[in-house]
Amino acid sequence: MNDFSVEANGLTKYFGNYKAVDHVSLAVPTGSIYGVLGPNGAGKTTSLRMTLGIIDPDEGTSRLLGGQRPQSVRHRIGYLPEERGLYPGMKAREAIAFMGALRGLDWSEGRRRAAGFMTELGLERVIDEKIRKMSKGMAQMIQLIGSIVHAPDLIVLDEPFSGLDPVNQERLEMLVRRERDRGATIIFSTHVMAHAERLCDRIAIIARSARRFEGTVDEARALLPMQVRYTPRTAGDPAAVAANLPAGAELRDDAWHFAIQDADVEPLLARITASGHGVTGLSISRPALHDAFVHIVRQVDAGFDADATEDAVEEASA
């Protein structure tokens, strides 16, 4: 028995002589929600396509659902592509049943489930409406339903939140959690950190074609030191206050902002208490995933900027 639903090893893809994906490995535990994060054009979609066997990697292998080739377990996978597409002439219910039928679901069962899902997501008005009459967001929800209607064991969603309003984003999050509770494994890619932060058990960050981080959200946030915001009670000489704070502390409005290491928290509190400047506001918090993400991506970019030749190639092919 294997505990990973996705085991992709060293996936590499060249488009011409540009390396779009460079030895990306993904290991997604069964029953978890896994986020693939990365800036635009980092290679997320290509990595997912190779993982699912839609395109063949130039190097590396992908095994799904217990060591099987992606092509042999198609009916147990649900996939929402980044480029949305439905037949505009089809009715919503038929479109969902069609996508289910492609994955081996019975047509009538597909139609039945389609109506159920749509009612649940507040789309009962448009069950028998043609796709071309729907808004983009609605069509996207239809396609999303179509990709999970056959109750797959592995669900891969490429940028599922883009183009949805906040209410539908909320519904989608609910749907993702429920599918996980049903026992499915979910991978989704995004560049919006808030969703990943709320949903993901683990994340991978892909930037410049390669995987730059893998771990839990908390592990990612722990990459950066904790952020402190301190407001003294007495508006004394700033230099005197700064003397008690680590170097690099910045005064913005009335508050001082600086970063500290985990071990320095107690000494800092002791120094502040002893200084006599008082405390009206003090917060010590982990940076958000957003900051960790930006930090990682900037580091990678900085590394690339050092190499002008490679950068030029990158830009030309972007």
Site of interaction with other proteins (CB under 8 A): 15-18, 20, 45-46, 52, 54-56, 71, 74-75, 77, 79, 81-90, 98-99, 101-104, 143, 146-147, 308-309, 311-313, 315-317
Nearer to other proteins among residue 8 and residue 77 (C-beta): 77
**HSE-CB for 34 with a 13 A CA cutoff:** 26
Q: How many CB atoms lie within 10 A of CB 224?
A: 16
Owner of token pair 């959200």: 217
* H or E element in which residue 93 lies: helix 92-102
Neighbour-count burial for 80-108, b at 16+ CB within 10 Å, e otherwise: bbeebebeeebbbbbbbbbbbbebebeee
Sheet containing strand 59-64, edge to edge, reads 18-29, 4-15, 59-64
Nearer to other proteins among residue 18 and residue 254 (C-beta): 18
Please state the closest distance from residue 223 (CB atom) to other proteins, in A: 29
Please state the closest distance from residue 316 (CB atom) to other proteins, in A: 3
Please state the closest distance from residue 80 (CB atom) to other proteins, in A: 9
In sequence order, the β-bridge partners of residue 26 are 8
Nearer to other proteins among residue 263 and residue 316 (C-beta): 316
Owner of token pair 């081996």: 104
Nearer to other proteins among residue 201 and residue 314 (C-beta): 314
Owner of token pair 């967001």: 137
Please state the closest distance from residue 82 (CB atom) to other proteins, in A: 7
Q: Which of 71, 72, 22, 15 is nearest to 42 (CA)?
A: 22
Nearer to other proteins among residue 5 and residue 46 (C-beta): 46
Q: What is the DSSP string of 284-315?
A: EEPPPHHHHHHHHHHHHHHHHHT-HHHHHHHH
Nearer to other proteins among residue 181 and residue 315 (C-beta): 315
Two structure tokens written together for 70:
């992606």
Strand stretches in the chain, DSSP E: 4-15, 18-29, 33-37, 59-64, 77-80, 154-158, 185-190, 202-207, 210-215, 226-231, 250-252, 255-260, 281-285
Nearer to other proteins among residue 110 and residue 232 (C-beta): 110
Please state the closest distance from residue 212 (CB atom) to other proteins, in A: 20
Q: How many CB atoms lie within 10 A of CB 220?
A: 30
Nearer to other proteins among residue 17 and residue 108 (C-beta): 17
Burial of 25 (0-12, 13-18, 19+ CB in 10 A): middle
Type of residue numbered 273? T
Nearer to other proteins among residue 75 and residue 286 (C-beta): 75
